């Protein structure tokens, strides 16, 4: 039997983890980012960008944080939203375009054109620390996607089609931006560039609801890119309070759990199972309490055949009535009798 570690053992392990985490805050890109944030009203924070061995880049606290403490407070001027896009050189193009573009398209187009602007971009310090590619299935080789188990494979393929369609259905809008560039706009707003922007918005935005505007389609406008704050990684076990504070016009996050000095600080992206985390964010979480089991209806029906009829008739009727193709069970509530029966099928 594996021997349990004592307090000293645990402390040594923690020390080893700390040693292998690499502080990146002296890297010129983070120095520039902090300077840029400060110029936009962000006050010095106790968070530092660090590369952690288990989660990759994240934020570490240099102070003890108690439940209720503010983790970060980012002024509105640091947030990149559709307001930013409408106030930019893209604003008039968007207002004139018919049918109206979606908030997602506006943000993605802005990200790509700003990245193309390089040193001329007001958002350069932020763009410089964004990942150059992502681990979501839309970046994977199609052969790798085919290796995924059934329900998640279908969703991964759906994601690839969504991004493909997102790009190809807006080529005319990209062409309408010709007067902004010397080159052909399609070479700048290419499929690869839009895929990068789509993943940037999908994996990094915080929820911030904006009023519906006539220049945008009816899709909800709920995105805000939040520089530096978006370096916070996900842990399914933590709780935070996160929202845009309308009174002081800042996006604030408070922790509901304690962090010791030099701990990595986490937020929770939502009660997502590992399928969803893989599809939407390109990673899976260890010890995820929201983990689920997916069973095709056919297999589940076969499994139910092994169980006493009295117990299962209502469930079978429900499955048939709703025409479910795949059933999702939370791991903690997956009935053991059904698990055994499905194993037999
Ligand atoms: C909002 S960003 C967080 C910062 C990100 N790690 C970075 O370097 O920019 C979300 C992305 O971080 C990564 N991530 C977040 N939580 C993670 C975790 N617990 N383990 C591994 N990767 C994680 C995933 O790639 C995810 O798409």
Q: Tens digit of pLDDT for each residue in 5-61?
A: 566 665 655 555 555 789 888 899 999 999 999 999 999 889 999 999 999 999 999
Whole-number Å distance between alpha carbons of 66 and 46: 13
Task: For residues 55 and 92, state if they share a domain.
Answer: no
For ligand 1, atom 21, which residue shows the shortest CA distance? 55
* Nearest residue to 30 (alpha-carbon basis) of 42, 44, 43, 48: 48
Where residue 205 falls among pLDDT bands split at 50, 70, 90? very high
Tokens of 111: 């990200």
Q: What are the percentages of helix, strand and coil residues in the chain, rounded to 5?
A: 45, 15, 35
Report if residue 96 sits inside a domain. Answer: yes
Ligand 1 mutation pick, 228, 266, 270, 281, max ligand atoms within 8 A of CB:
281
Same-domain pairing of 110 and 208 = yes
Is ligand 1 within 6 A of the CB of residue 135?
yes
Which two tokens mark 188? 């700048």
List, in order, residues 6 or more apart from 102 with CB less than 8 Å away: 216, 217, 219
- Quote the ligand 1 centre to 252 CA distance (angstroms): 19
- What pLDDT does 344 receive? 47
What is the mean predicted confidence (pLDDT) over 278-283? 97
Give the number of residues written for the chain.
Answer: 345
**Same domain as 178, residue 113:** yes
- Dihedral sign for Cα atoms in the order 126, 132, 134, 138: positive
Q: How far is CA 31 from the centre of its chain?
A: 24
CA of 54 to the centre of ligand 1 (A): 11
Beta strands in 79-232 (DSSP E): 205-207, 223-225
- Write the pLDDT tens digit of every residue in 85-140: 999 999 999 999 999 999 999 999 999 999 999 999 999 999 999 999 999 999 99
**Is the C-beta atom of 282 inside 6 A of ligand 1?**
yes
pLDDT for the residue 1: 44
Ligand 1 atom 8, closest CA: 57
- Res. 310 pLDDT band, cuts 50 70 90: low
Q: Which residue's CA is the nearest one to ligand 1's atom 9?
A: 231
Give me the number of domains the chain comprises: 3
Q: Which is higher by pLDDT, 330 or 142?
A: 142
Nearest Cα to Cα of residue 295 among 327, 319, 332, 324: 327
Domain that residue 129 falls in = 82-225
Identify the band that residue 263 occupies on the pLDDT scale cut at 50, 70 and 90.
very high
The sign of the torsion formed by the CA atoms of 151, 156, 162, 164 equals negative
Whether 300 and 338 have beta carbons less than 8 Å apart is answered as: yes
At residue 20, the pLDDT reads 76
Return d(Cα 207, Cα 100) in angstroms, integer.
Answer: 22
Domain contains 210: yes
Q: How far is CA 93 from CA 87, 177, 191, in A?
A: 11, 7, 20
**Residue 221, pLDDT above cutoff 90:** yes
Q: Are residues 150 and 245 in the same domain?
A: no
Tell whether 173 is covered by a domain: yes
Domain with 149 in it: what CATH number? Answer: 3.90.1410.10
Q: Domain check: are 220 and 241 in the same one?
A: no
CA angle 205, 208, 210 (to 5 degrees): 125
Residue 212 CA, ligand 1 centroid: distance in Å? 30
Task: Classify residue 276: in a domain, yes or no.
Answer: yes
- Cα separation, 175 vs 166, in Å, equals 15
pLDDT for residue 45: 85
Q: How far apart are the first and last CA of the chain?
A: 34
Q: Which atom number of ligand 1 is nearest to the Cα of residue 234?
A: 16
Per-residue pLDDT at 295: 66
For a mutational test of ligand 1's pocket, the pick from 58, 205, 227, 277, i.e. the residue with the most ligand atoms closer than 8 A to its C-beta, is 58
Residues 131, 43 within the same domain: no
What are the C-alpha distances in Å from 250 to residues 90, 122, 333? 25, 20, 40
Q: Which mutation among 234, 278, 280 tests ligand 1's pocket best, with the greatest number of atoms within 8 A of CB? A: 234
Ligand 1, from 56, 60, 231, 235: best to mutate by most atoms within 8 Å of Cβ?
56
Same domain, 87 and 214: yes
- ipTM value > 0.95: yes
**Smallest CA separation from ligand 1 atom 13, residue:** 233
Place of tokens 């999908």: 202
pLDDT by residue (tens digit) across 142-199?
A: 999 999 988 899 999 999 999 999 999 999 999 999 999 999 999 999 999 999 999 9
Give the Å distance between the CA of 55 and the centre of ligand 1. Answer: 7
Please, what is the average pLDDT of the chain? 89
């Amino acid at each position: 039997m594996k021997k349990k570690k004592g307090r000293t053992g645990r402390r040594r392990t923690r020390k080893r983890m700390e040693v292998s985490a690499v502080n990146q805050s002296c890297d010129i890109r983070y120095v520039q980012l902090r300077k840029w944030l400060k110029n936009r009203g962000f006050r010095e924070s106790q968070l530092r960008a660090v590369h952690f061995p288990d989660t990759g880049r994240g934020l570490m606290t240099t102070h003890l944080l108690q439940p209720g403490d503010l983790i970060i407070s980012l002024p509105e001027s640091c947030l990149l939203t559709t307001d930013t896009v409408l106030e930019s050189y893209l604003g008039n193009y968007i207002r004139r375009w018919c049918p109206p573009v979606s908030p997602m398209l506006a943000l993605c187009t802005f990200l790509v054109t700003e990245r193309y602007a390089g040193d001329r971009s007001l958002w350069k310090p932020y763009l410089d620390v964004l990942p150059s590619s992502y681990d979501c299935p839309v970046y994977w080789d199609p052969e790798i996607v085919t290796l995924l188990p059934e329900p998640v494979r279908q969703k991964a393929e759906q994601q690839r089609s969504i991004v493909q369609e997102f790009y190809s259905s807006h080529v005319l809008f990209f062409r309408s931006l010709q007067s902004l560039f010397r080159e052909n706009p399609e070479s700048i707003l290419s499929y690869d560039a839009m895929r990068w922007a789509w993943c940037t918005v999908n994996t990094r935005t915080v929820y911030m609801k904006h009023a519906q505007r006539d220049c945008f389609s009816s899709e909800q406008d709920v995105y805000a890119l939040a520089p530096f704050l978006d370096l916070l990684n996900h842990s399914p076990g933590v709780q935070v309070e996160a929202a845009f504070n309308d009174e002081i016009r800042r996006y604030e996050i408070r922790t509901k759990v304690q962090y010791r000095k030099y701990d990595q600080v986490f937020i929770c992206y939502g009660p997502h199972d590992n399928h969803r985390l893989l599809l939407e964010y390109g990673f899976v979480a260890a010890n995820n309490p929201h983990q689920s089991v997916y069973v095709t209806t056919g297999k589940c029906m076969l499994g139910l055949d092994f169980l006493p009829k009295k117990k299962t008739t209502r469930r079978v009727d429900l499955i048939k009535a709703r025409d479910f193709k795949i059933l999702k069970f939370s791991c903690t509530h997956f009935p053991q009798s059904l698990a055994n029966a499905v194993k037999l099928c």
